[in-house]
Amino acid sequence: MTKRKGKSVSFDAMVKFFMRQYNIPTKQDINNLLTRLDRLENLIKTTARQGKSRQVSTKTAKGKTSVGAAPKTASDMVLKIIKSFKKGVDFPTILAKTGFGEKKLRNIIFRLNQMNNIKRKSRGIYIAS
């Protein structure tokens, strides 16, 4: 019995098969993700700038709509406390004034530092920028 020769498979076809089979992203997939990340970062930056002047309309118990300032976020509260100390404020003071948990406060400070709203003067001392 002779062996039957099958159709030879190209290397490119094998690579494409394995990439699909094991969900390996292509260069185009990664570029699409990077452009989406850039759009999200720009959106976050623009909303952070506009967030200080935003207003929220709320409904009262009687059904009337009232327009006022947006409720303060945890980050706004921490930033306000840091701004009130000109020479800088340490972590335990912020913790005592806000009453937040340690983990939540560390995350807020990290986020404020990433957005360049505060600076680290030294270890545990923060200044508004």
Average pLDDT of the segment spanning 92-103: 92
The predicted pLDDT at position 129 comes to 86
Average pLDDT of the segment spanning 46-65: 63
The predicted pLDDT at position 47 comes to 85
Cβ proximity of 94 and 82 under 8 Å:
yes
| Cβ contacts of 48 within 8 Å, gap of 6 or more | 115
Q: 63 falls in which pLDDT band (50, 70, 90)? A: low
The residue among 123, 119, 116 whose CA lies nearest residue 90 is 123
Domain 74-128 is found in CATH 1.10.10.10? yes
Average pLDDT across the chain, whole number: 84
Q: Which residue has the higher pLDDT, 127 or 59?
A: 127
Q: Delimit the CATH 1.10.10.10 region(s) of the chain.
A: 74-128
| Cβ contacts of 18 within 8 Å, gap of 6 or more | 24
Q: What distance separates the 2 farthest-apart alpha carbons in the chain?
A: 91
The predicted pLDDT at position 64 comes to 57
- List, for residues 73-87, the tens digit of each pLDDT value: 899 999 999 999 999
